[in-house]
Structure 1
Amino acid sequence: RDMSLILTPPDNRRPVEVHVGEWDVDVVSEAIRRELQRGGQVYYVSNRVRTIDEAVERVGAAAAEARVGVAHGKMTKEELERVMEDFSAGAIDVLVATTIIESGIDNPHTNTLIIEDSQRLGLAQMYQLKGRVGRSSVQAYAYFMFPDNISLTEEAMARLDAINEHRDLGSGMRVAMRDLEIRGAGSLLGAEQSGNMSGVGFDLFAQMLSQAVANAREGASGEDAMLPPALSDITVNFPEHTYIPEEYVSDADARVLLYRKLACADTPSVVEELREQTSERYGAMPQACANMFAKSLVRAWANEHGVKLVGVSAGKLTVEPVDVPKDALPSLRRASGRYVAQSGKLVLPLKYFGLKEGESLIAAVHEFLTNLSEGTVAPSKDVSRPSSARRNR
């Protein structure tokens, strides 16, 4: 979706000064007393209800003169309302609270935020809490503290580094992108969000997704805007890596365009032409890219011969539906292959191909399928020898 960013802050608004470090009673004491001396108030966030009374004691030890109030989600509505009214009226100097304050609170007199155990909070949550202070022209301070007796996880350190780095006003989008990098994008390409991607493969999925987005933006819904149904219905699955490495085609737009062209290549001649063009432009292909073109050749062959499935699983090749010449059946059966003429399903153990280390399974399967359609299937490399020859090996 298109998105607009508001990057211009209100007049006289100042960035919040951020401090990230271990919990230190002297630092907390100085922060609270500095705020009280200028007539302000303090949020002290301790996000555990069962230990919030201990947090009150720590605040009292740091600044005994401060008037302290408590707010958390297990209090009744009346209790919360009374505490917040006292805080807004200035009868409370330090509000010790859980993250219940992260939304809906707008108190311009509160310009110091102290969070203990900040390593437990998410990056977006810390950024939201930081937004509770600095809501006027007064300089605000935010302290993100963590215990000195525990080791921080790598993700926790990354979150704290991010909140310390992105201090400028209007940095919410950068924080959100950093949060996405740290946490990951979830199951973006999984079955929960992307449906049949495992069935069509990434290249075809990218093409279908791109066209769906373009159609939604343009309001198009005609069949001419979609991939040919014959290609969309073909499933080609191999365990080998099939992608275009960034080191080979560095430009992202060029890679996506090549993926799209391969996804639409419905004949082997089109795939071969793309292979020649790519090799001429970028040089010799790495194995993953060569596998990508071999896979496209298999799909193009399947499109020409009405095959809907070419896949490898559990050490076996499955092709369905396919016509197998009678002359080829003895060789396939000697390799423990099975062919059901009624459904046109062929299941063939991979040992039939007798591949050596480094040889491409996809290329071997494409050669086999081509020979199969031409009626020139070669005998098995592994199992066609007489039993006596195998015993004497």
Structure 2
Amino acid sequence: PIPRTLYMSLSGIREMSLITTPPPSRRPIETHLSPYNPDVIRTAIRNELDRGGQIFYVVPRVEGIEEVAGQLREMIPGARVAIAHGQMDEGELEVTMLGFNNGEADILVCTTIVESGLDIPRVNTIVIEDAQRFGLSQLYQLRGRVGRAGIQAHAWLVYPAHRNLSDKARKRLRAIQEFTQLGSGYQLATRDMEIRGVGNLLGVEQSGQMMAIGFDLYMSMLQEAIQEIRGQEIPQVDETQIDLKVTAMIPANYIPDLEQKMSAYRRVSAALSNRELVEISADWSDRYGELPKPVVQLIEMIKLKQVAKPLGFSRIKPDGKQHIVLETPMEEPAWKLLQEHLPKHLVSRFVYSVNKVTVRGLGVLKPEQQLSNLIEWLEAIAAGLAKAEED
């Protein structure tokens, strides 16, 4: 994977599977790193031809590929040389590849068109010219085109003899030479990430930036940021249970008819908004007279449920005689988002701990005052959140 994708997996954003067991009889590919030397290339190709095999000769560009093929014909007289690249006519390319697969050519001079999808058992030597121009993942994929039949394969990575390589190019070539064991793709991808950086997880850059602060510190900072972002989500709760010591009910002398009373309970319990509660209060006042205190507190309790549930609170209950506890599965970063919208004089009274928020000192007030204060304060949080989302 590219550095950004790999780090997404390491950070838990994406899943990753590792296949560490090679196919039966598969051998590690001997990887040779060498400056360009016609004698070295001639020997490598001759050794493969002598054991009846074929060779991939990979160049980085289409430009000049004909000259490279001509040089190989002069270097190894009698060798059958074919050419394949992505700018060829589709039919011509297919004929060339089928012919090479059938053994009609000994050397295929090609671009990275052979990078994936090919499985030709007789090809057990690959020469990559100007290897410093290729990315680490490309070199790994190209090397994997040989050694697919249980025969010892060789990969020759050739770079210009009289040209200074960049530091990153040297690191890439050393890495591909170092990691030759079967199943080393993960280690190579990690090394590629160290060399190039991980890029922008939410942007378009697929590598870079990391080395400005160092690999370990970058990983640590990014992991902390991801955990914080994950914890900022307000959890969804199925229901909010209110266990305050308030008398919330419909007295028998207010709605004497049992069927009407049950219908009234169902209606108020199903209310989803404060507007519905206002309509219910007005309707009951018209039909049954002024609302008694237990009915007012019943409506207030439903109102508290309506505002507490979207904020992620699953239960509201006393904690001894001093405090009120708001139980919640939310994590601390999510609570900090809610806390930002509390009036400043109340911030110190709300104390977060795992799975709960304690409202200090609220328990000493009368239950009906506890109810009204919680509604007021939680409504302030909800309003602040809504405004922040609009902005």
What TM-score do the two structures reach when normalised by structure 2?
A: 0.53
Secondary structure of the residue aligned to 1:50 is: coil
**Distance (Å, rounded) in 2 between the aligned partners of 1:11 and 1:99:** 27
Amino acid at match of 2:176: I
**Distance (Å, rounded) in 1 between the aligned partners of 2:110 and 2:202:** 39
| Structure ID, larger Rg | 2
- Residue 46 of structure 1: CA displacement? 0.9
Stretches of 4+ moved more than 4 A in 1? 189-193, 202-208, 211-216, 219-222, 230-234
Amino acid at match of 1:129: L
Q: Would the alpha carbon gap of residues 231 and 55 (structure 1) be closer, same or farther in structure 2, given more than 3 Å must change?
A: farther
**Distance (Å, rounded) in 2 between the aligned partners of 1:142 and 1:159:** 15
Q: Would the alpha carbon gap of residues 165 and 221 (structure 1) be closer, same or farther in structure 2, given more than 3 Å must change?
A: farther
> Which of 80, 104, 116 is the aligned partner of 1:67?
80
- Residue 12 of structure 1: CA displacement? 1.1
Counterpart residue number, 1:246: none
| 2:10 is the counterpart of 1:10 | no
Counterpart residue number, 1:388: none
Provide the alpha-carbon RMSD of the alignment. 3.6
Amino acid at match of 2:194: E
Counterpart residue number, 1:133: 146
| 2:82 is the counterpart of 1:108 | no
Contact 2:232/2:337 (<8 A) preserved: no
Segments of 5+ residues of structure 2 without an aligned counterpart are 1-13, 207-218, 238-311, 313-329, 352-391
Q: Deviations along 1:207-251, whole A, 9 cap, x unmatched?
A: 6621555799xx9656434243256789xxxxxxxxxxxxxxxxx
> What's the % identity of the aligned pairs?
44
Secondary structure of the residue aligned to 1:70 is: strand
**Distance (Å, rounded) in 2 between the aligned partners of 1:170 and 1:205:** 28
**Distance (Å, rounded) in 2 between the aligned partners of 1:165 and 1:4:** 23
> Which of 101, 107, 110 is the aligned partner of 1:88?
101
**Distance (Å, rounded) in 2 between the aligned partners of 1:10 and 1:175:** 19
> Which of 13, 28, 32 is the aligned partner of 1:19?
32
> Which of 43, 48, 57 is the aligned partner of 1:35?
48
TM alignment of 1:323-338, pairs within 5 A: none
**Distance (Å, rounded) in 1 between the aligned partners of 2:138 and 2:146:** 14
Q: Would the alpha carbon gap of residues 206 and 168 (structure 1) be closer, same or farther in structure 2, given more than 3 Å must change?
A: closer
TM alignment of 1:74-223, pairs within 5 A: 74-188=87-201, 209-210=226-227, 212-213=229-230, 221=236, 223=312
How many residue pairs match? The answer is 233
**Distance (Å, rounded) in 2 between the aligned partners of 1:132 and 1:233:** 60
Counterpart residue number, 1:308: none
Secondary structure of the residue aligned to 1:173 is: helix
Secondary structure of the residue aligned to 2:158 is: strand
Amino acid at match of 1:93: D
Q: Deviations along 1:45-70, whole A, 9 cap, x unmatched?
A: 01211110121122123212210000
Q: Deviations along 1:104-162, whole A, 9 cap, x unmatched?
A: 11101100000000100000110010000011110000001011121100000000000
Q: Deviations along 1:32-89, whole A, 9 cap, x unmatched?
A: 1111111110000012111101211221232122100000011011010110111011
Amino acid at match of 1:23: Y
Which one scores higher on RCO, CA 8 angstroms, separation ≥ 6?
2
Secondary structure of the residue aligned to 2:175 is: helix
**Distance (Å, rounded) in 2 between the aligned partners of 1:50 and 1:35:** 27
Q: Deviations along 1:323-360, whole A, 9 cap, x unmatched?
A: xxxxxxxxxxxxxxxxxxxxxxxxxxxxxxxxxxxxxx
**Distance (Å, rounded) in 1 between the aligned partners of 2:190 and 2:34:** 23
TM alignment of 1:230-241, pairs within 5 A: 230=338
**Distance (Å, rounded) in 2 between the aligned partners of 1:231 and 1:80:** 65
Contact 1:111/1:139 (<8 A) preserved: yes
